[in-house]
């Protein structure tokens, strides 16, 4: 099964495609898409949408896992992340890909076993679980892989969206 994890954002959107065969996990492709803050938001969203759409057409993942919107103190950031999530959900729907969402707590518990794990612990475990030679950078990439791993480890996969 091919699982695409997405860490949504408008400046940086992390992606991580993994393959699950039985209990084995393998990283297929991962990285991040960046947009310039000089561009107006509609153009940033268009760039991200087009990159995601091309990725989905190239790899045809069976499911897409995305981080649930977490509202922090910065409302502007939360709105931008919500807009990025919107294009992710749209691209998945247009390609008939099931979407599952996970909270940051669920991702940390699935990957590290501890809901208050920090970024370094997540990166360490992502590297170990996927047998990577280097730690995925930036954080957004490691987070996207962690979201995909969380879905792969989910015992009961409830439809998130």
Q: Which CATH number characterizes residue 61's domain?
A: 3.30.420.10
Which range marks the domain in which residue 36 is found? 2-153
For residue 48, the model assigns a pLDDT of 98
Amino acid 148: pLDDT: 98
Q: 160 lies in a domain? A: no
Instruction: Kindly state whether residue 39 falls inside one of the protein's structural domains.
Output: yes
**The pLDDT value given to residue 72:** 64
Partnered with residue 21 across adjacent β-strands are: 24
Q: Is 41 part of any domain?
A: yes
d(CA 66, CA 7): 6
59's enclosing H/E stretch is: helix 41-59
Q: Residue 67: name the closest of 131, 157, 143 by CA.
A: 143
Give the separation between CA 8 and CA 84, rounded to whole angstroms: 6
As a whole number of angstroms, the distance between CA 121 and CA 144 comes to 14
What pLDDT score was predicted for residue 89?
97
Q: Which residue, 2, 26, 5, 21, is CA-closest to 143?
A: 5
CA 66-138-39 angle, 5° bins:
80
Catalytic residues: 7, 67, 140
pLDDT for 126 equals 97
In a domain, 158, yes or no: no
Residue 67 lies in a domain: yes
Q: What is the pLDDT of residue 51?
A: 98
Residues of the chain under the 70 pLDDT cut: 70-73, 155-161
**Residue 55 neighbours by CB distance under 10 Å:** 19
Residue 37: inside a domain, yes or no? yes
Nearest to 143 by CA among 160, 112, 131, 161: 112
Total domains in the chain come to: 1
């Amino acid at each position: 099964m091919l699982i695409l994890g997405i860490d949504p954002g408008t400046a940086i959107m992390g992606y991580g495609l993994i393959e699950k065969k039985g209990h084995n996990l393998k990283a297929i492709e991962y990285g991040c898409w960046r947009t310039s803050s000089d561009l107006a938001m509609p153009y940033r969203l268009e760039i991200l949408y087009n990159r995601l759409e091309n990725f989905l057409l190239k790899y045809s993942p069976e499911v897409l896992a995305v981080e649930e919107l977490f509202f922090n103190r910065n409302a502007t950031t939360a709105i931008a992340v919500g807009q990025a999530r919107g294009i992710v959900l749209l691209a998945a729907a247009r390609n008939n890909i099931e979407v599952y969402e996970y909270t940051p707590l669920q991702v940390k518990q699935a990957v590290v076993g501890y809901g208050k794990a920090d970024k370094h612990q997540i990166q360490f475990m992502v590297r170990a679980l996927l047998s990577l030679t280097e730690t995925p950078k930036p954080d957004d990439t490691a987070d996207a892989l962690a979201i995909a791993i969380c879905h792969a480890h989910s015992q009961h996969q409830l439809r998130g969206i």
